[in-house]
Structure 1
Amino acid sequence: MRRVVLLRAVNVGGAKLPMAELREVAQQLGATNVSTFIASGNLLCDVDDPEAFDRALEQAIEQRFGFFREAVSRSPAELRDALAAHPFEIDAGRKVNHMYFLLRPPSPEQVRALLDRGLPEQLAVVGRDLHIRYAEGVAASKLTPALVLKTLGSHGTGRNLNTVEKLIALADV
């Protein structure tokens, strides 16, 4: 089964994970047709059991590199559906439009708690995906991974729409 595995917060803040070594770890765990895209933790591979592979990858990264990072995976079809569901204007500011892929879907109460925070970003949750249009760019935002975890109750990882589109194209080859 083809998967796009997104690792949270690698190659930032001391969590160094060379992509060649990520590919090696994935292959050791039984993944085939393995590739990566840019050095931010985007792994494309074929696996038999996505959930088991994701959890094994997290453990293998922790054992080999000394830090734990969540692995959030989607099929190419799930990424296409998420992209099609993006509710915000995309225009020329493509990099201000992001999707934050969650491990688990939040409850309606958790979604309301996030929306009620009064953040300047446009936000929408569709299933396991938080759609974001940043008001003033990612760097200036108060919508942090810690806030997402606190309000939505799930870890996740974000990618801009350009990256999501490229990952879909790479996964389909």
Structure 2
Amino acid sequence: MTTYVAFLRGVNLGADRAVSMPRLVELAGGLGYADAWTYLRTGNLVLTTDRAASAVERELTHALREEYGADVDVTVRTAAELRAVLAANPFPDASASQVTVAFLVGEPPAGVEDRLAAVATEAEPYAVHGREVWVRYGAGQARSRLAAGFSRVVGVSATTRTLGTVEKVLARLDARAG
């Protein structure tokens, strides 16, 4: 059995994107996943299964479409992958609230570095590591053109979490396993 963290993109950002976290846990159980729980209302679902990550992404996406009538992109990482992501943090001295990691649903397309460079400001250094893109928003995300159109800029659907959120999901996961 593998423990996964499923990151849902764009949920609970408005009434038309409302996803109940208790209902999400029920949906996960109905799909046969074990030990399902959520962290925050932003679509961080932890679950255990013997299925492949691609199957979990596909099944959750389908279940969310059936339940809510909306397409919700889901990207999944194992706990070990998340630990490796955190170990690769290119901004270790920055505030955890300023650093984000974007989890891409697939490999970044060719030219992603050029597209990021065309939009990111000097206050938004970034780094591409496999299926993740790190950004340190030195001036915040509220007025950032990069943050506003991130998936369009990178050319593949992505869901972004602050470094602090990823750290807390893993800490809770470790505490529950301990």
TM-score by length of structure 2 reads 0.89
Q: Secondary structure at the match of 1:74?
A: strand
Distance 2:81 2:92 in 1: 20
Which of residues 51, 55, 74 is equivalent to 1:52? 55
- Per-residue CA shift, 1:108-154, capped at 9, x if unaligned? 42222212334341111100000010021121211136x33333221
Once the two structures are TM-superposed, the CA of residue 51 in structure 1 deviates from its matched residue by: 1.1
- TM-score normalised by L of structure 1: 0.92
1:11 paired residue number = 12
- Letter of the aligned partner of 1:144 in structure 2? A
Structure 2: runs of 5 or more not aligned: none
Distance in 1 (CA, whole Å) between partners of 2:57 and 2:109 is 23
Can you give the 5+ residue segments of structure 1 that lack an aligned partner in the other structure? none
Q: Distance in 2 between matches of 1:96 and 1:154?
A: 22
Determine helix, strand or coil for the equivalent of 1:26. helix
Query: Residues 30-49 of structure 1 correspond to what in structure 2 (within 5 A)?
Result: 30-49=32-51
Aligned to 1:110: 112
RMSD between superposed Cα atoms in Å: 1.5
Provide the C-alpha distance between the structure 1 equivalents of 2:105 and 2:114, rounded to a whole number of angstroms. 18
Identity of aligned residues (%): 33
Deviation at 1:90? 3.1
Matches of 1:165 and 1:157 in 2, distance apart?
16
Displacement of 1:86:
1.1
Q: In the alignment, what sits opposite 1:2?
A: 3
Please tell me the residue identity of whatever aligns with 1:74.
Answer: R
